Every structure is written in C-alpha cells, then in structure tokens.
Amino acid sequence: GENVEQHPSTLSVQEGDSAVIKCTYSDSASNYFPWYKQELGKGPQLIIDIRSNVGEKKDQRIAVTLNKTAKHFSLHITETQPEDSAVYFCAARKAGTALIFGKGTTLSVSS
C-alpha cells in the first residue's frame, strides 16, 4: 500500500520567514495530494491540494509543488505569521482508496 514520509517533524521559524515541508510517497499510481492543517484540540482541515496533472498550485501565501518523477511534493508558506503555528499533514491517495497521511510537521512561528 501507499506510504507517505514527511519531513521535518518540527520546524521553527521567525515571523515573516518562509517555511517548507516536504513529503515523499511510494505508490506511483497516487494522483491526489492534499495538505491539512491541525490546530490544537481540533481536527485537521484542508488548506490546499494538488492533482497529478498539475506541477504547482498557489493560494495567497501558501503553495504546493509536485514532482511526479521523484514522487515528492512540498508545501511552501511565505511571510509566516503566528497564526500559521499548527501541525501540518501531507497525504496521498490513488483512485478507489482512502487518504494516507504523513506523520505531521509541527510548525512554530515566533514573533
């Protein structure tokens, strides 16, 4: 089955800096790659996703890139703010299956 590796497990940045989280997946048939943000005491929420026919997608300060050949995808957050502090999960899925998540990255943004 699919296996998703996520790095780093923790990331600390200063407010205004950029943050990058990287994931690799094992199943070349996977075609959907979402990112979820989990705030303390809450369930994860979708923040951005990308499908395998697209190499990059951007939504204001967040962007996701996908390299199908290398089987890795990344989340980029620019101009980080304290409210970006949370746990971020990447995930992957192929047709007819459920999302498989990475282990998460705890992002801390200090002001």
Partner 1 sequence: DAGVIQSPRHEVTEMGQEVTLRCKPISGHNSLFWYRQTMMRGLELLIYFNNNVPIDDSGMPEDRFSAKMPNASFSTLKIQPSEPRDSAVYFCASTGGRYLVKGELFFGEGSRLTVL
Which among 102, 106, 101, 109 is positioned nearest to 86, based on CA atoms? Answer: 106
Binding to partner 1 by residue 1, rule CB under 8 A?
A: yes
Q: Give the residue with the Cβ less far from partner 1, 2 or 78.
A: 2
Sole residue written with tokens 């190499």: 55
Which among 20, 13, 21, 1 is positioned nearest to 90, based on CA atoms? Answer: 21
Q: Give the residue with the Cβ less far from partner 1, 49 or 78.
A: 49
Q: Give the residue with the Cβ less far from partner 1, 25 or 89.
A: 89
Pick from 65, 74, 78, 97: which binds partner 1 (CB under 8 A)?
97
Residues 56-75 that bind partner 1 (CB under 8 A): none
Binding to partner 1 by residue 41, rule CB under 8 A?
A: yes
| CA–CA distance, 21 with 3 (Å, rounded to integer) | 17
In this structure, are residues 25 and 72 in contact, taking their beta carbons and an 8 Å threshold? yes
Binding site for partner 1 (CB under 8 A): 1, 6, 32, 34, 36, 41-46, 49, 89, 93-104
